[in-house]
Structures are given as C-alpha cells and as structure tokens.
Structure 1
C-alpha cells in the first residue's frame, strides 16, 4: 500500500493557495526596527505578496496540493 505524504504544517500556517493556484503570503521585515523604514515601505509590506514560480510549485506540493 502506498504511503500518503504528510502536509507540512509550518507551510500551511505561512501560505495560502489562491483559486488560480498561486501562493499568497505575508512580507518579511515587518516585525521590528520599523523606525528606520519609510511610511511607504511599511505600508507596502502590510499587503500580501503573491508568487507563481518554481518555488511556489514546491510549496504547493509540500502543503499536500496536486
């Protein structure tokens, strides 16, 4: 009998899969040391990022997707 792959739970908490199969995630550099960043930069870091590349395909597979 074939063994099922386990879902990587840490990736499940960090990423979301959109309806079109892209990966949505939060930006880094938004936790501390924000005084040195411009308001524009901090505002942009608050928006979710979307990626659709080879790394995204690996993330989907690790999350149990097809």
Structure 2
C-alpha cells in the first residue's frame, strides 16, 4: 500500500506536540492592529493549542504526525 500524503497546507501551518495536541499560530494579527486592544495583541503572541473539535479536522490531513 502506498504512503499517505500529508496536506502541504497543514505542514506549513500546524505542528504536533509530543502529547499529540496541535499547535497553530494565533489568528487576527495580519492587519488592522490599530483597532485591536493592547490586551488582545498581548494575548495573541506566539502559538496556541487547537480545541478538540478543530484537532479532529486537522489530524486526518496529517496522517503520520506522531
């Protein structure tokens, strides 16, 4: 049986942690920073773990991710 392919878009956007959770970049930081509050920008730094529902969408696209 041939190897399954990982979606290239998922390879670029998501990372799987050692425990199997999925890390993704924070949304809402591309443009329009003037209207965002400082609290929002502070909290949106770095990456965040996806919810269980979102993980269920992403994991099938990354078949060999641990």
State the partner residue of 1:29: 28
State the superposition RMSD in angstroms: 1.7
Structure 1: gaps (5+ residues): none
Bigger share in helix: 2
State the partner residue of 2:14: 15
Structure 2: gaps (5+ residues): none
CA distance, structure 2, for counterparts of residue 33 and residue 54 of structure 1:
28
Paired residues for 1:25-64 under 5 Å: 25-64=24-63
TM-score between both structures, scaled by the size of structure 2: 0.81
Q: Which runs of 4+ in 1 moved over 6 A?
A: none
